[in-house]
Structure 1
Amino acid sequence: MPFAPQLAAIRFGCGLSPVLTPPSDAVGLLDGLRAPDSVAERFPIAGFADYDRQLAEVARIRLRARKTGARDTDRPRIVEIGKGLAAEHRGWFVNTLLRWSWTEAPLRERLALFWADHFTARGKVMLMASAGFPYVEDAIRPNLPGRFADLLIAAVTHPLMLHFLDQSGSIGPNSAAAGRVKRMRGLNENLAREVLELHTLGVGGPYGQADVTQLAELFTGLTYRYGAGFRFRKNLAEPGAETVMGARYGGTSALAPIHAALRDLAAHPATAQHIARKLAVHFVADTPDPALVAHVQARYLATDGDLMAVYGALIEHPAAWGSEAGNVKPPLDFIASACRALAVRPEALQGLSRKQVQHHLLRPLALMGQPLMRPNGPDGWPEDDAAWVTPQAVSARLRWALSAPGVLCTDLPDPRDFVDRALGERATQPVRFAAGAAESRSDAIGLVLAAPGFQRR
C-alpha cells in the first residue's frame, strides 16, 4: 500500500487536525525530525539542570536544619519549593498536550513518548516525582534523529535514571571507597540488568548473570547528587577490567570504557532485533509482520543504529500500511490526539486551574490505566491492546470523551464537520448518524471521540 497522508497522521503522528495538514509523503514525515524543534520553543519544558537547582536548595536547607536543629523554621521553604515543582509539573504536562496539538512534526512527539517509555525512569521520592519531563527534554528529545548508541548513553547516564535504579549507591567491592562510605551498601545490579534486558539485548537475550555482574562493576562510579548533577566518582569504581559479552573494558577507573561497552551493546544484532520489534509493535500491531521486523532490523545493522534510517525502514515497508485500524491508543495518546482534533487553544489549556487539570486530565488518565509518568516498573507501559481495553478503562474513556472537550474547548465545532476532521477516511455512516442525532453538541463530539476509528491508530 502506498503512503497515505491521513493514515500517516494517525499511525505515525499525533492524529488529524482541522488546521494542520498531514505530511504528503514519507520524506515530509521524516523531515520534521530534522527541522528545528520549534514546538518545544513555543511550549517550553525545563531541562534537568534548572530542576536540579531547586533540589539542591532543599538539600542545603535540610543539611542546615540537621546542623542547627531548626527543622521547623526551614520547613515552610521546603513546602514552597515542593508546591512550585508540582505547579511546574502541571505546566509541563499541559505543554506536552499543546505540543501534540500544534506540532507540524508529529512523528517527533510520538517518538519522544516511545523512547521515554523504552528508557523508563521516574522519581521515587516526592521531590523527584516531577523529574520525568526534564529527563525527556535532556536525554530523549535531542537524540531522536541521531544514533541509538548516543540515545542509550544519554538515557543510561542521566541523573534520573541513576536515581531510579539506585545506581548512585552502587560501589565496587574492591574500590578505594569500599568499606569506608557508610551509606554505600555494595554492588547494585539494577542498572546493568535493565540495560541488558530492557534497553539493548532484550528479555532472553544472549547474556548471563556473569555479564550482569561484570557490567554492574563497570558501572560503579556513575553517580548523581543534588546540585552537582551527574558525576563519575573514581573512588567508587571497581578497579581493573570487566568482561561483558566476551569483550574486556577498562583496566583503569574511567568513564570512557562505560561508553565503549554501551556502544558495543547498541551495535549487537540482538539489540537491532529488539529495537526493530518494539518499533513495529508500537507503531503497527501487537503482532507485527515478521518481514517488517526483519526489514527494520536489517536497516539498523546496515547503518550502525542510525535512527533516521531505522524510522525510514519502518515507514517504507508495505506491512506498516495495512488499512485496518491498528493498535488501541494508550490513554495519554488518546487525550492528546483529542486535543489536536479539537485544535484546543493554548490559552484554554494553560488557563486551567490546578483543580481543573487534576479533574479533567490527570485523574482521567489514571482511571484509564496510565497515571502520568508512573509506570509500574522499569519495563514501562504495556503495548498490548488488552492492557487498555478493560471495563474500567473503557468506561473512563467514554466519560472523558463526553465531559472534558466542553471544558477544554469552549467553542466546540459542528459535530457534522468534526466527524471528518477527527476521523478522516475512517468516518463511518453509523458514526455520522450518531453525531447528527445526539441531543447536544458535547454529546456528539464525545461519540466521535469514542468511536473505534478514533480510539485506534
Structure 2
Amino acid sequence: SIDKIRVVGLAGAFEFEAIRPHVLGKFGDMLQVVKQHPAMLLYLDQAESVGPDSLLGQRAAMRLGANGRKVGLNENLAREILELHTLGVRSGYNQADVTEFARALTGWTVGGLGPRMAQATPGYTFAALLHEPGTRTIVGKSYAQGGEAQGRAILADLAVHPATARHIATKLARHFAADDPPPALVARLEHAFLASGGDLPTVYRALIEAPEPWQQDFAKFRTPWDWTVAALRATGAPAPQPQIVTGLLNQLGQQVWKPGAPAGYDDIAASWAGPDALVRRVEAANRIAERVGPIDARQLGETLFPASLSTPTRTAIARAESPAQALALLLVSPEMLRR
C-alpha cells in the first residue's frame, strides 16, 4: 500500500514485476519473488530487521542504530506471510512459528538503505551480517540451512502446504463464485492445487470447469475497480486518461494501490454495497454517461444481458428523462452492479 511513503514509487513496479509475470506459473515461484521485492520488504519493515545474535545485532546490542531506532527483529513480514499469503488464520501455526520465521528471514533487505548498505546495488540483497544464525523450526519442521537458503526453503514448503492450498482455494472461490464460498468448490480447487504442486493454471482450469461459478447469475457484487472497468467497456468509452480512472476509483473508495492494510481490499458485498457507496456509484455512473455521449441504453441493456435483463431495469430505463440518465440507470442496475 502506498500509505507508506517509502513504497509510493514502488507499488506499480511490484504489481508488474512480482505479480503479473507469475499468475500463470507456480504459486511458489510467485511467493519467492514477491517476498524479495523491495516494495514488500520496505512496506513491512523487513529491510531493517536484524537478528539479535547476528554480527550486527551483537555489535549494536542496547545501542541506537544509525537511523535513530534500536535495531532488532521485525516480525511483520513473517506474520503476514503466514496469515495472509500462505497458511491463513487458524491453520495451526502459533506465535513461536512467527518469531522463528522472522529470524530465518533476517538478512533479506534492500541495497542502498542507510550507511551500512550504502555501497550495495539497489534492489533486493541478502546481508549476511544481519542474519540470525542457527536452525529454525517452523510448523513442526526444522530448517538447518544457512543464510538466505533458510528463508527460501521455508517459503518453498509453505507454498505447497495443505493449509495454503485450502486458503488459496477459499479466496478464489469467494472471488469468483460467492461471498460464502461453496465447500465443494473449495475442496475441488484445493485438490487441484495440491495435486499440481501449486500450479496456478491447473487451479484456474478446475475453477472454470466447476459448476458452482456458473450456477447463479449476479452472485458477486462488483468492487469499484470491477465496476469501473465493466462500465467503461460496456459503453465503449475511449481509453480515459489515468487521472480520470484514479479519480473515479478515489470517489468510489478503492484508491489505486492504497488499500490501507496488508490484507488489501475486500471483495464481498458487505464492504461495497452500503448506502453511501451506492450513492457514489450513481454519481460515477452519471459522470460516465455524460462523458460517452448518446447511447441507446435499452439496446445496450439487451446486448449486455440478453437473457437476464429484469423488467424493473427495463422499466427504469424506459422512463428516463434523457439518454444520459437512461445509461446511468443501466450502469447502476442490479445487473451491472453484480456479476
Taking structure 1 as the reference length, the TM-score comes to 0.68
Any idea what SS the aligned residue of 2:307 has? helix
Structure 1 residues 225 and 444, CA gap change in structure 2 (3 angstroms): farther
Structure 1 residues 412 and 317, CA gap change in structure 2 (3 angstroms): same
Q: Which amino acid aligns with 2:321?
A: E
Which of 104, 117, 124 pairs up with 2:4? 124
Structure number with the bigger relative contact order (C-alpha 8 A, sep ≥ 6) is 1
Partner of 2:30: 151
Deviation at 1:256, TM superposition (A): 2.2
* Counterpart Cα distance in 2 of 1:188 and 1:270: 24
Partner of 2:311: 429
Deviations 1:126-169 (A, max 9, x none): x6324322211001100011011111111111111111100011
- After alignment, is 366-375 or 443-452 more displaced? 366-375
* Counterpart Cα distance in 1 of 2:157 and 2:71: 29
Kindly indicate whether residue 257 of structure 2 is the aligned counterpart of residue 377 of structure 1. Answer: no
Structure 1 residues 160 and 412, CA gap change in structure 2 (3 angstroms): farther
Structure 1 residues 131 and 412, CA gap change in structure 2 (3 angstroms): farther
**1:403/1:442 contact within 8 Å kept:** no
Any idea what SS the aligned residue of 1:295 has? helix
**1:367/1:393 contact within 8 Å kept:** no
Unmatched runs of 5 consecutive residues or more in structure 2: 113-120
Q: How does 1:280-291 map to 2 (within 5 A)?
A: 280-291=173-184
Unmatched runs of 5 consecutive residues or more in structure 1: 1-120
Kindly indicate whether residue 327 of structure 2 is the aligned counterpart of residue 445 of structure 1. Answer: yes
Structure 1 residues 404 and 236, CA gap change in structure 2 (3 angstroms): same
Which is helix-richer, 1 or 2? Answer: 1
Partner of 1:295: 188
Which of 221, 235, 247 pairs up with 1:342? 235
* Counterpart Cα distance in 2 of 1:186 and 1:193: 16
Any idea what SS the aligned residue of 1:230 has? strand
Structure 1 residues 232 and 340, CA gap change in structure 2 (3 angstroms): same
* Counterpart Cα distance in 2 of 1:276 and 1:334: 24
Partner of 1:269: 162
**1:197/1:203 contact within 8 Å kept:** yes
Taking structure 2 as the reference length, the TM-score comes to 0.90
Any idea what SS the aligned residue of 1:310 has? helix
Q: Which amino acid aligns with 1:311?
A: Y
**1:157/1:230 contact within 8 Å kept:** yes
Deviations 1:35-93 (A, max 9, x none): xxxxxxxxxxxxxxxxxxxxxxxxxxxxxxxxxxxxxxxxxxxxxxxxxxxxxxxxxxx
Any idea what SS the aligned residue of 1:425 has? coil
* Counterpart Cα distance in 2 of 1:433 and 1:219: 60
* Counterpart Cα distance in 2 of 1:134 and 1:441: 41
Q: Which amino acid aligns with 1:449?
A: L
Any idea what SS the aligned residue of 1:224 has? strand
The CA RMSD over aligned residues, in Å, is: 1.8
Partner of 1:206: 92
Deviation at 1:123, TM superposition (A): 5.3
Aligned residue pairs total: 324
